[in-house]
Amino acid sequence: MLSGTVLNSATNAGIAHALVSYAGAQTGYRFTDLSGGFRVEDIPCGSYSLNVSKPGFVSQQDLSRQQYSGAFDPAGLGPSDGEADEQSNVRPPSTFTVADVKPGSLPARIQLVPVASIAGTVLDENAEPLMGAAVQGIAVKASLDGADYVPVRTGRTDDRGAYAFADLPPGDYVVRLAGEASSTRYFIGSRLNPGNDHRGLQPVYYPSGDSPASASVLRLGPGDRANADFRQACEQAFDIDGRLAGFVPGAWTQIQLYRGADRLPVGAAFVNVSSGQFRVTDVPHGSYTLRAVQYQADPAKWLAAEAQMMVASEPIRNLTIPLSGGTDIPVSVSYEAGAQTDGMLHVMLHPQHMRSSVRQLLIGEAARPRRLPEGIPDPAPAPAQPMTLTNVIPDKYRLTVQPLGDSGDYVSSAKLGDLDVLRGEFSIGGNEAGELRVTIRGDSASVEGRVSFDGHPAPGTNVYLMPAGGDGGGLKTDSCDDEGLYRISGIAPGDYRIQAWKGSPSVAEMLSKPGETLTLLPGERRTIALEAASASNQSDEDEGEEEGLLR
């Protein structure tokens, strides 16, 4: 019999109506009963992988990963264009674990971590609620260079000035009031009466900082509810208007005004879909980038434009902004030092601003369908795709290249023309961008060893390997097994810092502990023994839980 209980890690109470799916000699699923219990009768003995999920809960494993700035996360793009986001939020994260079913095996105990929330109200200088203001929840994540700020939620205030982020994974957050932000609205005719109030806001970090570093960090433990109220004076705001040259009448159009490197648009944008006249209202003083994008379906074509402007104390009138088409970027891959030439490679260009202008390529054979048991052959490979990123519109981009599967290969270089684009942001303009050349190498390094805590092997501790320098891309983690052993492989040679933690450390804890630094050479297999530090938010009962967990 396979049985167990799903528990709230903060309260130890059973979680009802959680989904427990299992796969092994038999596959299936059960929902937990009111006390969090589940059981599957008449199941063959053997090892089963379990996935447990429930809205409002995240897994401890996810949480450990999420507290660090890992591979670039497209969800961090910020401007929520609505639907797409919300749809993708429907499925809660699942907690993965393994259970052995044999005579006399104990029931499994699976802990899920309850999400936290931040809520608040936004009032203006007259203590009147500000309606429709954009508020961002920004996760504070550790990287070796310091804290990284990753926008994870965008909300809007209602008629009471109230906003809420109801489902945040526990962790550190700052909250930013960004002002009015809206999607592009269309109008016809020559007149536009937007009914705006000529008021705007400079962005402010809770409670009154002008940068994330000066903001109060809200440390949210499992199940915590934090409050972040704003009282913010509005200032006079102005309109920007003009015309898009080279406009395709009737085509989907988006106009957005960004403050500096901000990813959340400012003001309310209007565009006349037959003439290309546009207007952005309620823009407070500051320097801005105006971006316009059009999409024409037949034939599929993207057009884009970007213009810098400064708003001081008056409106900006009669701009002419020329649209230009996107560029095609051929991609070539070279494989060195024993890299698998038939492996799958995922190449993706993440634009700074628009989700819809993400460009990606899957190079190599089709991936295995998910969850097929061992020994089942792959279906026929998909036909090879042309190796070109097409219609790349002007913007700043960030590149991710990821070898799929477990070959242990790594990306050693990525160049666009002569530009090194492996890490960080780079601009692609309207002109030829050159070829993207990616090099994959097979001589990756690995690190393994034993983690101890108070002189004893420490099963279940988390090990974090962070690249030195760079932007947090390439962070790798592992959880120790029953013997306290860890192993991280597929590491690009270079300088790293490694830490082991019992529980999940805060950003501050991560940054305050130097850990071990190491330089890994090509093909090196390094063994390093680690002493785990204890994270402050580790529950006292963890020790006991580990003992009873899934034997």
Interface positions with other proteins (CB under 8 A): 16-17, 19, 21, 23-31, 40, 43, 51, 53, 55-56, 86-87, 89-92, 94, 126, 128-131, 158-161, 164, 166-167, 188-193, 195, 197-198, 248-252, 274, 295-300, 369-373, 376-377, 379
**DSSP secondary structure letter of residue 314:** S
Burial of 475 (0-12, 13-18, 19+ CB in 10 A): buried
Give the separation between CA 73 and CA 143, rounded to whole angstroms: 14
> What stretch of H or E contains 66?
helix 60-66
- Nearest distance, CB of residue 237 and other proteins, angstroms: 13
Of 28 and 405, which has the nearer Cβ to other proteins? 28
What length is written for the chain? Answer: 551
Of 33 and 471, which has the nearer Cβ to other proteins? 33
Of 258 and 270, which has the nearer Cβ to other proteins? 270
What type of residue is 363? Answer: I
With beta carbons less than 8 A apart as the criterion, state whether 218 and 165 touch. no
Of 199 and 396, which has the nearer Cβ to other proteins? 199
- Nearest distance, CB of residue 68 and other proteins, angstroms: 24
Pick from 134, 230, 120: which is nearest to 182 by CA?
134
- Nearest distance, CB of residue 115 and other proteins, angstroms: 8
- Nearest distance, CB of residue 340 and other proteins, angstroms: 23
- Nearest distance, CB of residue 542 and other proteins, angstroms: 27
With beta carbons less than 8 A apart as the criterion, state whether 515 and 499 touch. yes
- Nearest distance, CB of residue 25 and other proteins, angstroms: 6
Kindly report the backbone phi and psi dihedral angles of residue 162, in degrees, each rounded to the nearest multiple of 5, phi listed first.
-90, 145
Backbone φ/ψ region at 159: left (φ over 0), alpha (ψ -120 to 50), beta: alpha
Of 295 and 410, which has the nearer Cβ to other proteins? 295
Of 8 and 412, which has the nearer Cβ to other proteins? 8
With beta carbons less than 8 A apart as the criterion, state whether 21 and 13 touch. no
- Nearest distance, CB of residue 86 and other proteins, angstroms: 5
Of 301 and 423, which has the nearer Cβ to other proteins? 301
Of 94 and 506, which has the nearer Cβ to other proteins? 94
- Nearest distance, CB of residue 246 and other proteins, angstroms: 14
Sequence-ordered strand ranges (E) for 157-211:
162-168, 171-187, 199-200, 204-205
Question: What is the strand order of the sheet 425-428 is part of?
Answer: 359-363, 345-351, 395-403, 425-428
Of 173 and 410, which has the nearer Cβ to other proteins? 173
- Nearest distance, CB of residue 331 and other proteins, angstroms: 22
Query: Could you give the C-alpha distances from 220 to 292, 437, 504, 509, 542, in angstroms and in order?
Result: 38, 43, 12, 15, 19
> What stretch of H or E contains 510?
helix 507-512
Query: Could you give the C-alpha distances from 285 to 103, 199, 200, 237, in angstroms and in order?
Result: 72, 11, 9, 7
> What stretch of H or E contains 547?
helix 542-548
